[in-house]
C-alpha cells in the first residue's frame, strides 16, 4: 500500500508517540523526535508533509519550535498541528498566532487525530 505522506511527531512522551504511531503508521510514513531541537533538525532533513508538535518538552517549548520553523525558508510551509495537554484558551490562541494549522488537546481520540491529519494534508495539497 502506498503511504499518503510523511509525518513528523515531536513529543517527549513515549506513550503519545506509540499511540500516534499505531494510529497513523498504516497510512503514513511516521517519524518522531523526543525533543524540540532534534525535531527542528528532522524537519529540515525529512521535509515532512505535516508536523504533530507538543508544547511542553524538556529542552525548548513547542512554541519556540514553531517560531524557528516558520522563520526558516525550508520549513516555513510545513503545516504544524499542536497536540498538547495545554487546554488553556491563551495557549491555543498563541499556537494559532504563531502559525499552527490546528490545535488538538490530550487526551486525544485516535480517530479524530487521523481525520484532522487527513484534512490538513488535503487542504495543503489543494
pLDDT of residue 124: 78
User: What are the structural domain ranges in the chain?
Assistant: 6-120
Q: What is the SS3 string spanning the chain?
A: CCCCCEEEEECCCHHHHHHHHHHHCCCCEEEEECCHHHHHHHHHHHCCCEEEECCCCCCCCHHHHHHHHHHCCCCCCCCEEEEECCCCHHHHHHHHHCCCCEEEECCCCHHHHHHHHHHHHHHHHC
The residues pairing with 105 across neighbouring beta strands, listed in sequence order, are 84
Into which CATH architecture does domain 6-120 fall?
3-Layer(aba) Sandwich (3.40)
pLDDT by 10s per residue, the chain, length 126: 678 999 999 999 999 999 999 999 999 999 999 999 999 999 999 999 999 999 999 899 999 999 999 999 999 999 999 999 999 999 999 999 999 999 999 999 999 999 999 999 998 776
pLDDT of residue 1: 64
pLDDT of residue 19: 96
pLDDT of residue 9: 98
Amino acid at each position: 500500500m502506498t503511504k499518503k505522506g510523511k509525518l513528523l511527531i515531536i513529543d517527549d512522551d513515549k506513550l503519545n508517540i506509540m499511540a500516534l504511531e499505531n494510529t497513523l503508521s498504516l497510512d503514513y510514513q511516521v517519524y518522531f523526535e523526543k525533543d524540540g531541537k532534534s525535531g527542528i533538525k528532522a524537519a529540515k532533513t525529512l521535509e515532512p508533509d505535516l508536523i504533530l508538535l507538543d508544547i511542553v518538552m524538556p529542552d525548548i517549548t513547542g512554541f519556540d519550535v514553531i517560531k524557528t520553523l516558520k522563520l526558516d525558508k525550508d520549513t516555513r510551509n510545513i503545516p504544524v498541528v499542536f497536540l498538547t495537554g495545554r487546554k488553556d484558551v491563551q495557549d491555543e490562541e498563541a499556537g494559532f498566532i504563531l502559525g499552527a494549522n490546528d490545535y488538538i488537546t490530550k487526551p486525544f481520540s485516535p480517530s479524530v487525530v487521523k481525520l484532522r491529519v487527513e484534512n490538513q494534508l488535503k487542504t495543503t495539497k489543494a
